[in-house]
Amino acid sequence: MRPCTLDPGFLLSRISVNQRRLAVSLLNTYGLECACLFYVNRVKNWKGWKWPKLAEPPAPVNLGITKMDARPLLDSVVAALAEVRLEAILIGNAAAAIQGAPVTTVDFDFMFRATPVNLTKLKKFAWRLDAVILRPYYPMSALYRVMNDDRGLQADFMPAIHGVKSFNSLRSRAEKMELSGHGLWVANLVDVIASKRAAARPRDKAVLEILEKTLREKAKSSSEKA
């Protein structure tokens, strides 16, 4: 049988609400392969069916303070986190952008504790956003990717990140901000920079200078106010 390359957003957009609920459950419990089999058996006939192409990735969006194009999406994520009481800390470019860094991102990255209780909450979080949890990208990692392709939502949850010792150490320096009436832990820009420097991927190195400049400007502004 041909390897499953069906895009989750394509699958969910082609089935009924009841079938979608079942497909989401299959995705979360058994993975993408099982959900694909459900799709072709329930919705399509095997004979003459062609495998669809993967959807194009969403264009980068600006998360800056002055132009928060992705703010509605982030608000819905924060609201869902609050509803299921899942404690997570926003990291990466999204955290930097909220603090004034002129960077763009197509997703939201969070650090969390991958306890059995939190994994149950993560499933409820995905359900509230009509999203799915995928783990086919890095089989040997503990990354949990929550996706809703129709809305352009991608939120990664990681129990460990480069350059950070622990969840507690990250939270001790994080700032709790309020977004649309809900609290959100946002990693300190110092930790965002340390994580990107430790990861040392080309995309991380590309924004280091920008983040470091933003950090210097914040420090200067704070000293002037003092």
- 189 located within any domain: yes
Whether 34 and 94 map to the same domain: the answer is no
For 149-207, write each residue's pLDDT tens digit.
Answer: 988 999 999 999 999 999 999 999 999 999 889 999 999 999 999 999 999 889 899 99
Whether 99 and 169 map to the same domain: the answer is yes
**Which percentage of the chain shows pLDDT scores above 90?**
52
For 85-94, write each residue's pLDDT tens digit.
Answer: 999 999 999 9
Note down the domain range covering 216.
61-225
pTM of the model: 0.69
- CA pseudo-torsion sign 85, 89, 93, 97: positive
Domain count, the chain: 2
Q: Whole-angstrom Cα distance, residue 12 to residue 10?
A: 6
DSSP assignment of 42-83 equals: HTS-STT--PPPPPPPPPPEEB-SS-BTTHHHHHHHHHHHHH
